[in-house]
Structure 1
Amino acid sequence: MIYTITANPSIDYVLQLDAMTVGEVNRTTSDVKLPGGKGVNVSRILNELALDSTALGFVGGATGEMFENLLQQHQLNTNFTKVSDDTRINVKINAVKQNEETEINGTGPKITADEKAEFIKLLKKVGNGDVVIMSGSLPKNIETTFYLDIAKMIQAQGADFVIDTTGQALLDTLPLHPLVVKPNNHELAELFDTTFKNEQDIVDNARKLLDQGAKHVLVSMAGDGALLVTKDKVFKANAPKGTVINSVGAGDSMIAGFVGTFMKTNDPIESFHIGAACGSATAFSQDIAVKSKIDEVYQAINISQVN
């Protein structure tokens, strides 16, 4: 089973308007409310790929009820821990003619010690053959080591894990041997305080993550495609042609495609192919990609070995 953890989920209130003028009344041309959160995005892609997952996290209040109602539309298996504070609302404003996106993100609920303990109980059943994917921000009073502590716990129980994070928080997880890490090329450069002159520089620094414990390294490079770096080989996926509509969730989609496929096939190359297709398909979609779009993009992606 794949478990996804979204510690601080949200209702994403997405507003579209022609142009936004600060300090004045602005009227939208359309709006939509979506269940938000990086782990939720992962579960939604897994569902499109007909792969089972259970979405975990904290939800509370009237907004928490709305969040769960929105999730029901996607027929996901969930087991959220109920908390007393309200689930947050994030506002995303897309000014079309100005080609600008503005986000206003809520801080989220305060989690009590008892609520946290109740959540941890759910992870006691995780074991051999399971993968836990942790991603997204933390509620304001949860310690910054929350995901790392969970990784240590579920690893001791025999499960694999993925933490979608960057910086020192990512480096701290490497001795625990995460199944995959997925920095983009800019984040990878920042990790090692360097700049890249060419693709080989990217590969060399990705190998540092393998040397420190990661099992697989995915590096997304926007219009230059993506790389999969393993212990002895490097593979590249081209960037398929298409109009980028929504970059939110593309990285989550790539992780979902890779992890879900790897759990099923144990084939890193095919997992990379499907992961790249999921990421691009979401980028080309208004929301998280659907299966038909993933299949379409899959045909436009070629995987080649880098010498």
Structure 2
Amino acid sequence: MIYTVTLNPSLDYIVEMNDITLGALNRTKNEAILPGGKGINVSQVLKTFETPNQALGFVGGFTGDYIETLLHTLDIETNFIRVNEQTRINVKVKAEQETEINAKGPRITTENYMALQDIIRELTHEDTLILAGSIPSSLSTTTYEELASICQETGTRFVVDAEGDLLKNVLPHKPFLIKPNHHELGDLFGVTINNCEEVIPYGKELINMGAENVIVSLAGEGAVFMNQEQVYVSTVPKGVVKGSVGAGDSMVAGFMAMYEKTHSFEEAFRYSVAAGSATAFSTGLCTREKIESLLPEVRIVKF
């Protein structure tokens, strides 16, 4: 079973507008209310691939109730820890420029966190845990390291989609997969990365630091997959980008869903790129039909 962890989930209010003027009345063209948070996004795209999974994390109040209801409607299992404050509401404005207003989120107590640890300790070598997104200010910055350490003890395969020190500090625990974008990779090493070829030496360094598999996305410039044995470089499909929210999460989900089914890194990478592009070209998260339609445009070269 695949388990996703979203430490600070949200109820996302998504509004589409022609343009937005500050200090004036603005009207929407379209709007939607969706469960949000990187791990929750991964869970939804895994379900698109018909991959069973369970969403873990913290929820509270009527907004938390609504997130659980929405996920259950999508036939996604949940095992959230209840907290005493409301789950946050984030606003995503899609106009000429994409604008996000993200709330802080509820306080997570020590008891809440220990309850999550107890759930993760029950996982085994047959399970995969996906840690995605930021850590709430009420939790320690070492939270991912602590959860990764539990996975090492139990033999649970784990994936990390985070940035900066959150990502760097889990590498000694040997994550199965990490997925920085080229900006995040450049920030880790203090360099600017402009193309797929420039990714390769720094991706290899991440592997030397402990990562088993690395995907680096470069938006319209392509993507790179690497491990100790192989390096693949992929083109990305052409299309109209409607938003970046969830594209990276879709890449993680597409990769893990297809790797579970095929155990082929190349095929998993192909679906990863198609899933990320499908979400970028959609108002919400990708559909399986959109992913399949883009697959022929994903060309992979082995380096």
TM bin, normalised by shorter chain, reads: over 0.9
Asked if 2 retains the 8 angstrom alpha-carbon contact of 1:227 and 1:237, the reply is yes
Q: CA deviation at 1:198?
A: 5.5
| TM-score, with length taken from structure 2 | 0.96
Q: Distance in 2 between matches of 1:155 and 1:274?
A: 28
Distance 2:244 2:98 in 1: 11
Secondary structure of 1:204 counterpart:
helix
1:303 counterpart letter in structure 2: I
Which residue of 2 is the match for residue 302 of structure 1?
299
| 8 Å Cα contact 2:49-2:288 kept in structure 1 | yes
Partner of 1:241: 238
How far is 1:34 from its partner? Answer: 0.6
Task: Give the 5 Å matches for 1:50-129.
Answer: 50-95=50-95, 99-129=96-126
The CA distance in 1 between the partners of 2:199 and 2:188, in whole Å, is 12
Do 2:98 and 2:243's aligned partners in 1 also have CA atoms closer than 8 Å? no
One-letter code of the match for 2:56?
L
Any unmatched runs of 5+ in structure 1?
none
CA drift of 1:281 comes to 0.9
- Paired residues of 1:91 and 1:105 also in contact (CA < 8 A): yes
Cα-to-partner distance string for 1:175-230 (whole Å, 9 max, x where unaligned): 11111111112221221112347543321111001111111111111111111112
Mapped pair 1:164 → 2:136 = no
Partners of 1:241 and 1:26 in 2: how far apart?
Answer: 31
1:5 counterpart = 2:5: yes
Q: Could you tell me how far apart the structure 1 residues matched to 2:38 and 2:195 are?
A: 30
Q: Whole-Å Cα distance in 2 between the matches of residues 252 and 198 of structure 1?
A: 21
1:109–1:140 Cα contact (<8 Å) kept: no
Whether 1:279 aligns to 2:264 is: no
CA deviation map 1:104-150 (0-9, x unaligned): 11111111222222222211210112110011122231111111100
State how far apart, in whole Å, the 1-side matches of 2:230 and 2:51 are.
Answer: 27
Tell me, yes or no, if the aligned pair for 1:20 and 1:26 is still in contact at 8 Å. Answer: yes
Matches of 1:111 and 1:198, distance apart in 2: 40
Query: Does 1:261 pair with 2:276?
Result: no
Partner of 1:37: 37
RMSD over aligned CA atoms reads: 1.4
Percent pairwise identity: 42
Match for residue 19 of structure 1? 19
Separation in structure 1 between the aligned mates of residue 275 and residue 263 of structure 2, nearest angstrom: 18
Bigger mean CA deviation after superposition, 74-83 or 114-123? 114-123
CA 1:231–1:64 in 2, change beyond 3 Å: closer, same or farther?
same
Displacement of 1:93? 1.6
State the distance in 2 between where 1:239 and 1:41 align.
Answer: 21
Aligned to 2:202: 205
Structure 1 residue 271: deviation in Å? 0.9
**TM-score, length basis structure 1:** 0.95
Count of aligned residue pairs for this structure pair: 303
Alignment match, 1:28? 28
Write the distance in 1 (CA, Å) between the matches of 2:274 and 2:45.
Answer: 11
* Residues 292/228 of structure 1: CA separation in 2 closer, same or farther (3 Å cut): same
Q: How far is 1:36 from its partner?
A: 0.4
- Structure 2 regions of 5+ residues with no counterpart? none
Q: CA 1:24/1:195 → structure 2, altered by over 3 Å: closer, same or farther?
A: closer
